[in-house]
Amino acid sequence: MHTDLDTLQKEEEKYLCSTYGRYPLAIKSARGYTLTDYEDREYTDLLAGISVCNLGHCHPEISRAICGQAEKLVHTSNLFFQKEQLDLARELLSTCGLDKVFFCNSGAEANEGAIKTVRRYMRMVRENNRFEIITLKNSFHGRTMATLSATGQEKIKQGFDPLLPGFVHAEPNDEAELRSLCTEKTAAIMLEVIQGEGGVVPLKKDYLHFVQKLCAEKGLLLVIDEVQTGMGRTGRFWAHEHFGLNPDIITSAKALASGLPMGAILLKDEVARALAPGSHATTFGGSPLVCAAALKTLEIMKRDNVVRMSAETGEYAREILNRVRERTGDMIEEIRGMGLMLGVKLSFPGKRVWRKLLERGFVLNLTQESVLRLLPPLNIPREQLDKFAADLEKILEEEKKAKES
């Protein structure tokens, strides 16, 4: 089979379900922050597999860890005790104030498991009938039926009715509405402290503190979705650390195993009482292979001070992008986000800008039609960000002139 883009597109139409709006790009190989297509053209990756390859592509130490583990033990099932899971659990739990972990395969599975845990905890441990979970409008929690029902974006729910009952959506940062939605049925509040798919929108600090107080007052569980924001992405290991929150459940995935499919539910001991033998399970979750990749990822992050690197490089990125905003007039409304989770909110639909950036060799994401979402590897050199900012400024000046003419 030939590997030119046209041929790949035709083959995909023949063999694959058309569920993805693909970029006009096929990647042959990747290393660090560089992607290479089948014509050997190189691209600077400012997306990192959607916040997955936080240490860059094909990190040599992680690749060696995967290969070494693959020669010893790949999969046994969760019918057996596994040292690899225990080693990883100790390291992962040391990053937060929680006590137990359940390993799964994705962010959607982690959030699905968190939803199940909330319901079972209320029914089996507290012995009440609370089951509703309040989530926020503009949120994104996954594409399984439960996580789709939890998600606060109508555009991705079309055609999947009827959705599952038990979810109520509140306006972000509206304390009065959130309180009014709490009833005798409410079991938990589930949120992202930065809404990634929603356009890289951080929630307000005062609002998040209100949420935590409300949970304590009403006896609700606080579930924080850190699937995209965790693993050092925002300049702290977990994004909720910026706000001093104390969640009952954290969900994680994406960057956890540096590209291998892995998710995790982290829980307080009290909440973990809900998960008795047989109550929840997975065939592939926490296999020795993915645990080896995740353990090496955490080791490198700690040794190389990657979280601090994310904070410092993220601050630098904000500075240079704000200079672009100042020099291009009203073309950019806002630079928002934390660490290396940044959104460049344009004042107009951004598809042309996104495409021009791709043509100039920069891979990033356009979300909510006008937000350029940047999720680069956390160890990306600053000079690559300089190059991106310079090209973005040139493109915005071109668009400004075209707009004025």
User: Coil, helix or strand for 194?
Assistant: strand
Model pLDDT, residue 268: 98
Confidence of residue 334 (pLDDT cuts 50, 70, 90): very high
Residue 383 and residue 243 share a domain: no
191 backbone dihedrals φ, ψ, rounded to 5°: -155, 165
φ and ψ of 348, to 5 deg: -155, 165
User: Across residues 367-371, what is the average pLDDT?
Assistant: 96
Mean pLDDT of 169-178: 98
**Are both 334 and 372 inside the same structural domain?**
yes
Instruction: Measure Cα distances from 16 to 12, 45, 195, 351 in Å.
Output: 5, 25, 30, 25
Residue (of 148, 203, 209) closest to 172 by Cα position: 203
Burial of 231 (0-12, 13-18, 19+ CB in 10 A): buried
What is the pLDDT of the chain when averaged over all its residues?
A: 97
Task: Note the pLDDT of residue 183.
Answer: 98
389: nearest Cα among 366, 357, 367: 357
The answer to whether residues 170 and 139 belong to one domain is yes
Taking the C-alpha atoms of residue 262 and residue 289, their distance in angstroms, rounded to an integer, is 10
My answer on whether 266 and 310 are in the same domain is no
Tens digit of each residue's pLDDT (9 = 90 or more) over 180-235: 999 999 999 999 999 999 999 999 999 999 999 999 999 999 999 999 999 999 99
Considering the domain architecture, whether residues 49 and 118 belong to the same structural domain is answered as no
Residue 119 lies in a domain: yes
Cα–chain center distance at 141: 9
Q: Backbone phi, then psi, for 289, in 5-degree steps?
A: -65, -50
pLDDT at site 330? 93
CA dist 71 and 73 (Å) reads 6
User: CB of 24 within 8 A of CB of 9?
Assistant: no
Number of structural domains the chain divides into:
2
Distance CA 273, CA 92 (A): 20
Q: Are residues 80 and 48 in the same domain?
A: no
Residues 283 and 354 in one domain: no
Domain boundary pick from 261, 286, 303:
303
| Confidence grade of residue 55 (pLDDT, cut at 50, 70, 90) | very high
Residues 339-359: pLDDT tens digits?
A: 999 999 999 999 999 999 999
Tell me: do 11 and 40 sit in the same domain: yes
What does the pLDDT average to over 157-186?
97
* Residue 234's CATH number: 3.40.640.10
pTM of the model: 0.96
Does residue 50 lie within any of the structural domains?
Answer: yes
Q: Domain boundary residue among 284, 303, 322?
A: 303
**Structure confidence at residue 2 (pLDDT):** 59
Residue 65 lies in a domain: no
Say yes or no: 280 and 379 in one domain: no
Q: Is residue 68 part of a domain?
A: no
Domain residues for the domain of 140 are: 73-303
- pLDDT value, residue 3: 74
pLDDT at residue 300 tops 60: yes
The pLDDT assigned to 153 comes to 96
Provide the 8-state DSSP code for 203.
P
Q: Give the pLDDT confidence score for residue 377 in this predicted structure.
A: 98
Phi-psi region of 32 (alpha: psi -120 to 50; beta: other; left: phi over 0): left
Instruction: Find how far residue 99's CA is from the centre of its chain.
Output: 22
* CATH of residue 395: 3.90.1150.10
Same domain flag for 104 and 26:
no
Q: Are residues 118 and 31 in the same domain?
A: no
